[in-house]
Amino acid sequence: MAGTSELVAAVGDADFAAQVLASELPVLVEFTADWCPPCRMMAPVLAELAAERVAELRVVTVDVDVNPETQAGYGVLSMPTMMLFRDGEPIWSAVGARPKRKLGQELTDAIARARAAA
């Protein structure tokens, strides 16, 4: 599956570590699939978040049908699953589509908690 916009990159098993785990910015990963209607609903939400938070957050997608190692490695069973990574570790996750405002607040809260704990 291609990235949903120029600011939402598609990453896979081969480049997940470099693109997500080694990122200096927090990275929101959407585990997705072409056959998943809620995943398609999230595409414009993720594109908007990526554009609005370009300086503070990266947004990527992982197509689970062609990247089984990454999917299995993080125990992803349902799509869409979103995970927020910071410093190479998942710090937040959620399953299912959600409105942009709610997702944005969840990400803000998760990043703030991670910073406070560091």
Two tokens, residue 62: 């992982």
pLDDT of residue 4: 52
| In this structure, CATH architecture of domain 8-117 | 3-Layer(aba) Sandwich (3.40)
Tell me the per-residue pLDDT of 50-109, one tens digit each, with 9 for 90 and over. Answer: 999 999 999 999 999 999 999 999 999 999 999 999 999 999 999 999 999 999 999 999
pTM over 0.85: yes
Which residue ranges make up each domain of the chain?
A: 8-117
* List of residues 6+ apart from 37 with CB closer than 8 A: none
Residue type at position 60:
V
> Which residues are designated catalytic?
36, 39
Q: How confident is the model at residue 118 (pLDDT cuts 50, 70, 90)?
A: confident
